[in-house]
């Protein structure tokens, strides 16, 4: 399958209602409005194809960029490739659910995510924190430095309320993920979440959302899900 055929197939799957929903979350033209589940049959035919993924991502079409993440080969991507991808990620559904997810399957995931967290740029920071969520929810606990994750929890406690909105959301997810999926610091995550308290997420022309990491972790405790790991990062 080449670029033109994939674009034609994606266009045929587009739905106006889905397109409007994506645009209400920050997507912009060009896009077709393809539900992510509808992309799976095309992905099964292609499997992994990094050159095609690069072409699709460079198109600027939201659906093509999302699909690029599904067929990308993260282990073949360099740090400069990920930098190029994050620079083109113009809203959180690309930064957190395409770039961060793809990065989470690469061997260089932590070092790139660390740089993004320290960047001071909203979507880069958001992608960095999100990448750790995907990592912690999939890789073994021994793959992480306990002291490093503890320092990151401290950073969340000190900075979350003053961070940009999308970064706030990703930091809150990180706090929840440590509390659920990283057993060595489950208790510290609970203590941190209690100290952080409710986090207000302001939205343009919409009512604010209040995030409650402590309550979310407690719900997972009740469901017996502490230590939960995903089998795969990408679907």
Structure tokens at 205: 């022309």
Structure tokens at 81: 């490739």
H/E element, 206 = strand 206-211
Q: Name the residue ranges covered by the structural domains of the chain.
A: 108-235
Query: What is the chain's Cα-based Rg?
Result: 18
- pTM value? 0.95
Give the residue from 198, 161, 158, 193 showing the smallest Cα distance to 174.
Answer: 193
Q: What is the full per-residue pLDDT of the chain (235 aa) written as tens digits?
A: 899 999 999 999 999 999 999 999 999 999 999 999 999 999 999 999 999 999 999 999 999 999 999 999 999 999 999 999 999 999 999 999 999 999 999 999 999 999 999 999 999 999 999 999 999 999 999 999 999 999 999 999 999 999 999 999 999 999 999 999 999 999 999 999 999 999 999 987 789 999 999 999 999 999 999 999 998 887 5
Quick check: 136 and 168 in contact, CB under 8 A? Answer: no
Q: How many whole angstroms separate alpha carbon 117 and alpha carbon 100? A: 12
């Amino acid at each position: 399958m080449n670029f033109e055929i994939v674009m034609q197939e994606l266009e045929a799957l587009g739905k106006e209602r889905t397109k409007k929903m994506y645009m209400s979350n920050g997507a912009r033209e060009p896009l077709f409005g393809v539900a992510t589940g509808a992309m799976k049959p095309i992905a099964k035919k292609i499997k992994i194809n990094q050159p095609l993924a690069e072409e699709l991502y460079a198109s600027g079409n939201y659906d093509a960029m999302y699909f690029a993440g599904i067929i990308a080969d993260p282990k073949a991507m360099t740090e400069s490739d990920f930098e190029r991808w994050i620079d083109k990620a113009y809203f959180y559904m690309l930064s957190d659910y395409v770039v961060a997810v793809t990065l989470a399957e690469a061997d260089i995931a932590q070092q790139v995510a660390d740089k993004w967290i320290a960047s001071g740029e909203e979507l880069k920071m958001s992608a960095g924190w999100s990448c750790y969520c995907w990592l912690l929810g999939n890789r073994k606990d021994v793959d992480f430095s306990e002291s490093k994750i503890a320092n990151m929890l401290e950073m969340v406690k000190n900075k979350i309320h003053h961070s940009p909105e999308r970064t706030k959301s990703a930091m809150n997810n990180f706090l929840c993920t440590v509390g659920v999926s990283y057993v060595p610091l489950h208790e510290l995550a609970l203590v941190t979440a209690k100290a952080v308290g409710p986090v207000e997420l302001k939205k343009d022309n919409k009512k604010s959302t209040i995030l409650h990491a402590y309550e979310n972790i407690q719900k997972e405790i009740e469901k017996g899900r502490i230590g939960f790991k995903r089998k795969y990062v990408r679907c």
